[in-house]
Structure 1
Amino acid sequence: MQLILHDWNDEDSIKILKQCRKSIPKDGGKVIIVDVALDEDSDHELSSTRLILDIDMLVNTGGKERTKEDWEKLVKCAGFSGCKIRHIAAIQSVIEVFP
């Protein structure tokens, strides 16, 4: 999923992820999310842009950008075991979510 979950609040994002969880195999499957992962302490050149997007999402969609801790909580509430976040040379990060 690319740039979907940041449009939604936590409750709706968990519903979406629960449906994804039902669709993947328990062994070897995963969900790939391409979305913003905030890191306020990062020196990454796009960190300030990510924070500005968080304000934009709150105001315009009711959604939000999430920190690593937010993503971990979200995926666990949806029934996944955890996630791995890889920052890339873009505003978004790659978030691998495991059953």
Structure 2
Amino acid sequence: MSSSFPAVIDLNVGGRHLTTSLSTLTKYPDSMLAAMFSGRHPVAKDQDGRYFIDVDGDVFVHILNFLRFGKMPPPERAQDVNEYAEYFGIQELKAPVTEDFEKVLY
């Protein structure tokens, strides 16, 4: 990991301000987030110095919760979170889509 990143990372994710740890973002070494926050790829900053990720912050928060706690998203967000998991290369997050939840529950 690059020492140029602080232990605590302030993010601007699609206009939503989030804070997390560097270890959370780099939990899965093969993910795009780990590449972004290892120094291998440049990461843009906003005017306030927050690292900018151009995705919907309301969906991304579920990615962070998975990285932090292994928590799966609620069924109604599963499809969106799956798309982000694919985009960010987090294969460990395989959220069932809503239709699968409905089949299991009913």
Q: TM-score, normalised by structure 2?
A: 0.28
Larger radius of gyration: 2
Q: Judging by fraction of residues, say which structure has more strand.
A: 1
Q: TM-score, normalised by structure 1?
A: 0.29
